[in-house]
Amino acid sequence: MAKLGNNLTSRVDVMSDNIRLRYPGFVLFLSRLMSVGTGLIFSLIVVRNVSIEEFGIYGNMGDMISYFTFLSTIIPFWAMRFVARRHAGSSKTGLMANLILSIISAVLYLLLLPLIMKGLNIPRGYTLVYGLLSLQIIEVYAYSAFTYILRAKRPQVVGYGFLIFEACKVILVLIFIPILHMGLLGAVLSIILARLLEFTLYLRVMANDLREMVIWGYVREWIKASFVNVYNIAGQWIISFAPILLFMHSGECARAYYGAALTITSIIGYSSLLAFSLYPRLLSQSSSSDVTTSLRTVLMFAIPMTFGAIALSGSYLTILKPDYVVARPILILLAVSTFCITLSNVFHAVVVGTERFDAEAKIPIKKLIKSRLFLLFTVTHVRGIALVSLTYVTLSFMAGTPYEAAFLLAAVNLVASIVTMLMKYAIARRGLPFSMPWGGIVKYLLSSVVMTLMLYAIPPPSRLSLTLAVTLLGGAIYFSILWFIDEEARRLSKSMFRITLQMVRSKGPTL
C-alpha cells in the first residue's frame, strides 16, 4: 500500500492544478464497477449467513446511522468550496473540525442507544452490534471530510481509496463470518476495519495539506452558514424516515425485501460518479459545455444499467437469495427511481457549482438565503414531506403483507424521485443554461432496447456465474451497437480503455 500511496502522491500533485472533467469520474466509475464483484461477494456472505429477520435488522442499522451522521457533510461542504478556490489552510481546518463533530455525535448516539433499542423493539442480543455503530459514525464524518477535500484537488484518489476499502472489506468478512461465525457483528467489524485501511491512503496523499495551519476563522464562517446545510439535511432526515416507517409498520421482512432490491439498484447510481468533477470544476469556471458533456457521459451508462437491472431483475434477486425473487416488481420500481436520482445529482452539481456568493472566503447570509442553493435545499424538504406522508397513508390503508408494504414504498419513492428530478432541472437551468444531449439519449435508448430484447430471449439464469456472464453479454451488446452509431461513444470507450490500463500499471494519466 505504501508503494501505491507514493505513486498516487506523485501523480496527483501534478494534476492538482488542472482538474480534468472526465478522468477522475472515469477512475471512480471504473473502481465502482470493479467493486461490484467484491460488493456482491460481501452481500452474499451476509445474506446467506443470516435470517431474513436479521437482514432486516442489518438494513435498519444503516437507517439509524443516518440520523447521527446528518451533520457529517456540513463542514466538508464549505471546506471543499474553500479548497477549490485555493484558500490556504482550508483542508486541515475542515478535517479537524469534522472529527470534533464526529466524537460529539458518537457520544450522543451511545447515550440514546438504550432508548432506540427499546423504541424499535430490537432484541438485547444485538446491543454490542448496535454499539459498534458509534465507531462507524466517527468514520462517516472522517470519510466525508477526506472525500470532499480530495474532490476539490485530487478527486481520482477517492476511486483508489474505494478499491482498497472494497478489497479489505471482503477479505475481512470472509474471516469473520464463514470462519469465525460472527454473524452481523462480523459484517460491522469488516466495514469498520476496512475503512481504517482506506484512510491510510488519504492521509498519505494529504500529507502536505495536513502541515498547514488550522484557521478557525474559516470554521466561524462555515458554522455561520451551517443553518442552510442543517435545513437541507433535515430534509434528508425526513426522507430517510420512510424506510424506518416501513420497518416499524410492517416488520423485518418488508425492510428486507426493500433492502434486497435496493442492493441491486444502487449500482445504477454509480454512473453519477462520472460527473464527480463537474461540481469543483464549475466552482472555478462555469461552462455549459461541461454540463452537457457530463450529462452525456452519465446517461451513456445510466440508461443501459437501468434497462439491464429490469431485464435481469429476477436473476439478480435469485443470486442474493431465492427468497427475495418475490421482490422483482419492487426492484423494477427502484431501478427507475435510482435513474431519476442519478440524473438529479448532475443537476444538483450544476446548482451548487455555479453559485458565487462565497467566492471571497466570506459567506453573506442574505445572499445565501436568496440563492438558488437555498431553493435547491427546499426541494429536499418537499420530497421528504411528500414521501413520508404518502408512505404513512399507503402503509396504513393499503398494505396487507410485508411484500405489499415494500412495493408501496417503492412506488411512492418513484413518484417523488421523478418530481424531484424535474424541479432540480428547472433550478439548474436558471443558473446556467445548458443543452440536454438529446441526440445521444436517443442512441442510448435504442441500443438499450435492443440489448434488453436480446436478454429477454435468453432463459433467465439462476446461478451466480451465469448471471454475471449474461450481464457482461448485455454490456457487450449495448456497446457494440453504440460503437457503430455514436462517434462520442467510440472516443470515450478508447479513453476508458487507456484509463483502465493506467490504473492497472499505476502510471501517469494521458487523458
CA count, 13 A, side-chain hemisphere, 85: 17
| Residue 180 φ then ψ, to 5° | -90, -10
Q: Taking 50 as the threshold, does the pLDDT of residue 28 lie above it?
A: yes
Q: What is the pLDDT of residue 240?
A: 82
Binned at pLDDT 50, 70 and 90, residue 497 comes out as: low
In the DSSP assignment, the letter for residue 267 is: G
- Which parts of 398-463 fold into alpha helices (H)? 402-431, 438-456
Q: Taking 50 as the threshold, does the pLDDT of residue 7 lie above it?
A: no
Owner of C-alpha cell 468514520: 139
| Span 198-223, pLDDT tens digits | 999 999 988 888 888 888 888 888 88
Q: What is the pLDDT of residue 499?
A: 61
Q: Taking 90 as the threshold, does the pLDDT of residue 444 lie above it?
A: yes
User: What percent of the chain has a predicted confidence (pLDDT) above 70?
Assistant: 86
Give the cell for residue 268. Answer: 445504477
Amino acid at 174: L
Q: Taking 50 as the threshold, does the pLDDT of residue 155 lie above it?
A: yes
Largest CA distance in the chain: 63
Ranges 48-52, 85-89, 292-296, 469-473, most confident: 469-473
CA nearest to 274, candidates 255, 256, 293, 258: 293
| Span 408-435, pLDDT tens digits | 999 999 999 999 999 999 999 887 888 8
Q: What is the pLDDT of residue 52?
A: 73
Q: Taking 70 as the threshold, does the pLDDT of residue 131 lie above it?
A: yes
| pLDDT greater at residue 306 or residue 208 | 306
b/e map 12-29, b = 16+ CB within 10 Å: beebeeebbbbbbbbbbb
CA–CA separation, 56 and 72 (whole Å): 25
Q: What is the pLDDT of residue 8?
A: 43
Q: Taking 60 as the threshold, does the pLDDT of residue 10 lie above it?
A: no
CA–CA separation, 310 and 116 (whole Å): 36
| Span 445-464, pLDDT tens digits | 999 999 999 999 998 888 88
| pLDDT greater at residue 85 or residue 333 | 333
DSSP letters spanning 92-108: HHHHHHHHHHHHHHHHH
* Average pLDDT over all residues of the chain: 83
CA nearest to 33, candidates 162, 152, 169: 162
Contact 265, 307 (CB under 8 A): no
CA nearest to 421, candidates 337, 354, 300: 337
Contact 137, 65 (CB under 8 A): yes
Q: What is the pLDDT of residue 32?
A: 66
Q: Taking 50 as the threshold, does the pLDDT of residue 70 lie above it?
A: yes
pTM of the model: 0.74
If you count DSSP H runs as helices and E runs as strands, how many of each does the chain have, helices first? Answer: 20, 0
Amino acid at 229: N
User: What percent of the chain has a predicted confidence (pLDDT) above 90?
Assistant: 27
Q: What is the pLDDT of residue 24?
A: 61
Average pLDDT over residues 123-128: 82
Q: What is the pLDDT of residue 503?
A: 55
Binned at pLDDT 50, 70 and 90, residue 137 comes out as: very high
Ranges 28-37, 110-119, 178-187, 416-425, most confident: 416-425
Q: What is the pLDDT of residue 135?
A: 93
DSSP letters spanning 277-329: THHHHHHH---HHHHHHHHHHHHHHHHHHHHHHHHTHHHHHHHH-GGGGGGHH
Q: Taking 50 as the threshold, does the pLDDT of residue 301 lie above it?
A: yes
Binned at pLDDT 50, 70 and 90, residue 508 comes out as: very low
Lowest mean pLDDT among 18-22, 356-360, 474-478: 18-22
DSSP helix/strand/coil, 486 = coil
Binned at pLDDT 50, 70 and 90, residue 347 comes out as: very high
CA nearest to 23, candidates 201, 205, 276: 276
CA–CA separation, 244 and 255 (whole Å): 8
Give the cell for residue 259. Answer: 433492502
Binned at pLDDT 50, 70 and 90, residue 441 comes out as: very high
Q: Taking 60 as the threshold, does the pLDDT of residue 20 lie above it?
A: no
DSSP helix/strand/coil, 208 = coil
Q: Taking 90 as the threshold, does the pLDDT of residue 141 lie above it?
A: yes
Contact 28, 158 (CB under 8 A): yes
Q: What is the pLDDT of residue 193?
A: 94
Owner of C-alpha cell 417503492: 410
Q: Taking 90 as the threshold, does the pLDDT of residue 290 lie above it?
A: no
Contact 382, 422 (CB under 8 A): no
Binned at pLDDT 50, 70 and 90, residue 36 comes out as: low
Give the cell for residue 284. Answer: 472555478
Give the cell for residue 15. Answer: 494534476
b/e map 382-413, b = 16+ CB within 10 Å: ebbebbbebbeebbeeebeebbbbbbbbbbbb
Burial of 208 (0-12, 13-18, 19+ CB in 10 A): exposed
Q: What is the pLDDT of residue 255?
A: 85
| Span 388-404, pLDDT tens digits | 999 889 888 887 788 89
Give the cell for residue 380. Answer: 429536499
Binned at pLDDT 50, 70 and 90, residue 510 comes out as: very low
What residues contact 302, with CB distance under 8 A and at least 6 apart? 268, 271, 272, 339, 342, 343
CA–CA separation, 197 and 163 (whole Å): 11
Q: Taking 60 as the threshold, does the pLDDT of residue 233 lie above it?
A: yes
Q: Taking 50 as the threshold, does the pLDDT of residue 1 lie above it?
A: no
CA–CA separation, 98 and 79 (whole Å): 10
Q: Taking 80 as the threshold, does the pLDDT of residue 143 lie above it?
A: yes
Binned at pLDDT 50, 70 and 90, residue 2 comes out as: very low
What residues contact 422, with CB distance under 8 A and at least 6 apart? none
CA–CA separation, 263 and 425 (whole Å): 27
CA distances from 189 to 124, 131, 139, 172 (A): 19, 11, 12, 8
CA–CA separation, 414 and 483 (whole Å): 32
CA–CA separation, 470 and 458 (whole Å): 9
Q: What is the pLDDT of residue 230?
A: 83
Q: Taking 60 as the threshold, does the pLDDT of residue 6 lie above it?
A: no
Q: What is the pLDDT of residue 21?
A: 53
Owner of C-alpha cell 420530497: 383
CA nearest to 483, candidates 497, 503, 467: 497
Q: What is the pLDDT of residue 66?
A: 77
